[in-house]
Amino acid sequence: MKWWVSMPKIELHAHLNGSIRDSTLLELARVLGEKGVIVFSDVEHVIMKNDRSLGEVFKLFDLIHILTTDHKTVTRITKEVVEDFASENVAYLELRTTPKKNDSIGMSKHSYMEAVVEGLRAVSAVDIDFGPHKFNTQDSLNSIAMNDACDGTKRKKIYVRLLLSIDRRETTEAAIETVKLALEMRDLGVVGIDLSGNPVVGEWKTFLPALKFAQKQGLYITLHCGEVPNCQEVQPMLDFLPQRIGHAIFFEEEEWRQLKTSKIPVEICLTSNIKTESISSIDIHHFVDLYNDKHPLVLCTDDAGVFSTSLSNEYKLASTAFGLGKREMFELARNGIECIFAGDEVKQDLVETFDSAAKKLN
Ligand code: 5GP
């Protein structure tokens, strides 16, 4: 097994509906095609297309949501996505999703999230800790480093925490509803709020009341920030002091300075940035500058399904593109522990997982 697959990893920026297997999407499309809801042949090539602009990505999400938004399917994709990350030795996953309401099928934001939690409960291929459901002590004592798990004798384990996304198409009231839901579901593994959705839609001031409320209530916050040029947003977002930001592409000099001073960790999504042409070539990716400055950063997939990638692939890509060796990549992954939205006990367990894996690094 290649080192970028076998080493333990931390995934902090993964959208549920962007991380679905192509095979599952095709199967769902076929079923809806047979029911006459969609025309399968029209949809098939859209799902299988490889490179998409950022605008096309959001059109694809509208299609994916037609395919996935019923309770049973939400449960299924959640289970599959978690098992897929665990299979490539992701030791800790923060999975984000936008709670959806669809009156025609009796879906509320709450019941959508219950279906997600049901998916976590349904995970069977690995041991999962998502807050209420923890590995038992014996599991922990017996557990071994993630990269030993491939010998077939020990089960892998994965921590999963949930972030609720506010979609930039939403109103202030809808965003506040999402924050209230996150607070209600704290005992079910929800730890924070994400602001995402098409970056050319909506305004910062619409979401600010909800985000301030979330911040006051002690929820962790991560923002998609600087995904497109928008000088009116980046600075207020940085002033807000979220616990992390995603992407950080279109920053002015002063904004880079502010980011670096604030030490807000950045979720870096290399393949996503390249495929959507947000960055023209990997050689000029801001990863290099942030890495050289020892700024806290974490490699992430964004949408492993939509961009046909995996977290292992992101590590391999960074290693090749930026000339970083196995040990440097291992340290990068391990430093991600400091950026997670979970408590000291989880962090300590992850440190032990990495320590144990480090002994076998040669
Ligand atoms: P979901 O929240 O439905 O589980 O995951 C898909 C949603 O995540 C999309 O509809 C979109 O709102 C958000 N999303 C996924 N990828 C990106 C991205 O690269 N940028 C932004 N801004 N939002 C994204």
DSSP string, 161-179: EEEEEEETTS-HHHHHHHH
pLDDT over threshold 80, residue 229: yes
Nearest protein CA to atom 5 of ligand 1, as residue: 17
At residue 153, the pLDDT reads: 54
Q: Give the DSSP letter string of 101-121.
A: -BGGGTB-HHHHHHHHHHHHH
What is the Å distance from ligand 1's center to 13 Cα? 10
Please enumerate in sequence order all residues whose Cβ is within 8 A of that of 91, keeping only pairs 6 or more positions apart, or say none.
8, 9, 10, 146, 157, 158, 159, 350, 353, 354
Which pLDDT score, from 0 to 100, does residue 46 have?
A: 86
Q: Does domain 3-15+68-359 have CATH number 3.20.20.140?
A: yes
Predicted confidence (pLDDT) at residue 151 exceeds the cutoff of 70: no
CB atoms inside a 10 Å sphere around CB 6: 20
Q: Provide CB contacts within 8 A for 190, sequence distance 6+.
A: 113, 161, 162, 163, 164, 181, 182
Q: Percent of the chain having pLDDT more than 90?
A: 87
pLDDT of residue 149: 45
Residue 301: what are its φ and ψ, rounded to 5°? -95, -30
ipTM of this predicted complex?
0.99
Give residue 52's pLDDT band: very low, low, confident or very high (50, 70, 90). Answer: confident
Ligand 1 near 165 CB (within 6 A): yes
Nearest CA to ligand 1 atom 8: 15
Q: Establish whether residue 314 lines the binding site of ligand 1, counting it when its CB lies within 6 angstroms of any ligand atom.
A: no
Q: Mean per-residue pLDDT for 145-163?
A: 71
Confidence of residue 150 (pLDDT cuts 50, 70, 90): very low
Q: Which residue bears the tokens 């029209």? A: 42
| Mean pLDDT of the region 161-187 | 98
Ligand 1 neighbourhood includes 97 CB (under 6 angstroms): yes
Decide if 227 is catalytic: yes
Q: Which atom in ligand 1 lies closest to the alpha carbon of residue 61?
A: 10
- Which conformational region is residue 198 in: left (phi greater than 0), alpha (psi within -120 to 50 degrees), or beta? beta
Instruction: Please determine, for residue 27, whether its predicted confidence score (pLDDT) is greater than 90.
Output: yes
Q: Which candidate in 227, 233, 255, 267 is catalytic?
A: 227
Closest residue by CA, ligand 1 atom 6: 17
What ligand 1 atom has the least distance to the C-alpha of 276? Answer: 19
In the chain, where are the structural domains located? 3-15+68-359
- Ligand 1 near 272 CB (within 6 A): yes
pLDDT at 147 over 50: no
State mean pLDDT over 199-228: 98
Q: Is the pLDDT of residue 192 over 90?
A: yes
Out of 129-143, 179-193, 222-236, 270-284, which region has the weakest mean confidence (pLDDT)? Answer: 129-143
Is the model more confident about 187 or about 50? Answer: 187
Q: What is the dihedral of CA 171, 57, 40, 118, to 10 degrees?
A: -60
State which ligand 1 atom lies nearest to the alpha carbon of 167.
12
How much distance in Å is there from the Cα of 137 to the middle of ligand 1?
36
DSSP 218: T
Supply the mean pLDDT for the chain: 93
Taking the CA of residue 198 as reference, the ligand 1 atom at the shortest distance is 22
Closest CA to 267 of 296, 292, 293: 296
Residue nearest to atom 24 of ligand 1 (CA): 197
pLDDT tier at 265 (50, 70, 90 boundaries)? very high
Judge if the beta carbon of residue 302 lies within 6 A of ligand 1: yes
Q: How far is the CA of 194 from the centre of ligand 1 (A)?
A: 10
Rounded to whole angstroms, how far apart are CA atoms 70 and 133?
24
pLDDT at 133: 80
Report the DSSP pairing between strands 266-268 and 297-299: parallel
What is the number of the ligand 1 atom nearest to the C-alpha of 168?
Answer: 12
- pLDDT given for residue 146 in this prediction: 46
The finding on whether 244 has its CB within 6 A of some atom of ligand 1 is no
Q: Is 194 in the pocket of ligand 1 (CB under 6 A)?
A: no
Kindly report the protein residue whose alpha carbon is nearest to atom 12 of ligand 1. Answer: 197
